[in-house]
Structure 1
């Protein structure tokens, strides 16, 4: 009996450790680029692809995405969304400082010296503005093997859990909406889905508390999913969906296409 108890405890510890390793932390940056500086920004993006790959190789981050906005915001507000992925909250909050990026730039582009690398970063600051930065923690996701590639479509839904209904909202996402998205994925109508919670403390005046990432391989899959209606849903399931919708306020929906994903 004692051996069985010890075995069960060790098994639980392994499961917890695996779950901790799989948990993702993400920094979303919403970037504004003036129309006459778009070429310079995209040229800098190509330069940074190798820089972020070097940071991944050094295990400072686990990935980096660049998304171009298709709809959901005033074009003057921002046009791009970047996502930097981390394994833990400490690494996320420490982030990549300018000195780290310069070091990785010289490794990724060995023909550059420090002053040349620093000039590239300084020039890049003049071609873009950081409109907003959001720190998020993934708390639920579907089971899928979706591979990000150029042209992938994403709907970033910014939510605010209503006051007093924070736990109710998360429960609805996990128990109601996650299963709906999983069903769509199993039917080939969606690529991936995940629920994120803000990783920093916030007050009642916070604009958003959660974000859902709805991923599709292309526009065809996206529009097929919009037209899809699960005729097998029961009355109880429909009521659960309606109750879940009343626990949050959908603040914004941003539709974006993937320019590049570094892993």
Structure 2
């Protein structure tokens, strides 16, 4: 009997461990592009006219959960990209599960191979790939907006766990207040997982979503501090566990989900 109880406890332990580790996760495949001189609008138009139909097919098939194309409006640094595409999925493997060319045929059943090939060449002639990254979502206050303020963060050496704790336990409640007050529509906190190196420029990003352009950069440090004091009146502001590397503001040009 004692042996049976021990075995049952071990099985329950394995079950709960599996349940915790198999919780649904969201991953983001982020591609950064530099458009050819003066051809940004032409590329965006091409995506809206043709590629959006391909992404609809991929989403319908269950390959990815969403696709979004952003244009970069402003930056506090000097990025060498002006367009960013983001795919979301519940598994990293989903990003390479099928061939995009197959979906082109489904999206445009009347087109011959030569026309399809010419269309693909148009995409590559209008922009140059700069880099590709994959992120995992740590926590979020999910929402939608036409603009996103993206903060690229670098955790201090050995402070990754403390920084993640601060974002989840301190800053997420603050962002929740901003959303409640109508200053924002959503907030995301993601960890860079590919590529990762000790010398990486940044290893985390946060995304603040807005519906109106004038809401971007609109929240001052004083508002952060006053909201913190109201939420945590007996706790001093925690010591910083990260540095801010750069802030961009992106505008949604195409969104499929």
Tell me the equivalent position of 1:137.
136
**Could you tell me which residue of structure 1 aligns to residue 31 of structure 2?**
29
Structure 2: stretches of 5+ with no match in the other structure: none
CA offset digits 1:196-236 (Å, max 9, x no partner):
11123622111111111111121244465448452624454
Q: Which residue in 1 is equivalent to 2:213? A: 219
Task: Tell whether the 8 Å contact from 1:190 to 1:225 is kept in structure 2 after alignment.
Answer: no
Q: Note if 1:202 corresponds to 2:196.
A: yes
Please say if residues 137 and 189 of structure 2, whose CA atoms lie closer than 8 Å, have aligned partners that are also in contact: yes
Instruction: Please give the secondary structure, in 1, of the residue aligned with 2:116.
Output: helix
Aligned pair 1:253/2:247, yes or no? yes
CA distance in 2, matches of 1:253, 1:95: 32
Matched, 1:52 2:55: yes
Cα shift at 1:14: 9.8
Secondary structure class of the residue paired with 1:50? helix
User: Which stretch has the larger CA shift, 159-168 or 66-75?
Assistant: 66-75
Q: 1:82 aligns with which of 52, 71, 85?
A: 85
Whole-Å separation in 2 of the counterparts to 1:61 and 1:247: 33
Separation in structure 2 between the aligned mates of residue 194 and residue 128 of structure 1, nearest angstrom: 28
> After the TM superposition, which residues 76-225 of structure 1 pair with which residues of structure 2 at under 5 Å, given as runs?
77-92=80-95, 94=96, 100-142=99-141, 144=142, 146-148=143-145, 152-200=146-194, 202-222=196-216, 225=219
Gaps of 5+ in 1: none
User: Cα–Cα, structure 1 residues 138 and 82, in superposed 2: closer, same or farther, change >3 Å?
Assistant: same
| Rounded Cα–Cα distance in structure 2 between residues aligned with 1:124 and 1:75 | 24
Q: 1:147 to 1:9 in 2, by over 3 A?
A: farther
Q: In structure 1, what is the Cα distance between the partners aligned to 2:249 and 2:177?
A: 22
Counterpart Cα distance in 1 of 2:77 and 2:126? 19
Change in CA separation of 1:153 and 1:20 when aligned onto 2, cut-off 3 Å: same
Q: Please state whether the residue corresponding to 1:35 is helix, strand or coil.
A: coil
> CA RMSD, aligned part only?
2.9
Maintained 8 Å contact 2:133/2:195: no
Q: Partners of 1:124 and 1:90 in 2: how far apart?
A: 24
Separation in structure 1 between the aligned mates of residue 63 and residue 110 of structure 2, nearest angstrom: 23
CA distance in 2, matches of 1:33, 1:195: 28
Q: Which digits, 9 at most, give the CA deviation of each residue in 1:156-208, with x for residues without a partner?
A: 11111111111111111111111111122222221111111112362211111
State the alpha-carbon separation in 1 of the partners of residues 252 and 139 from structure 2.
Answer: 22
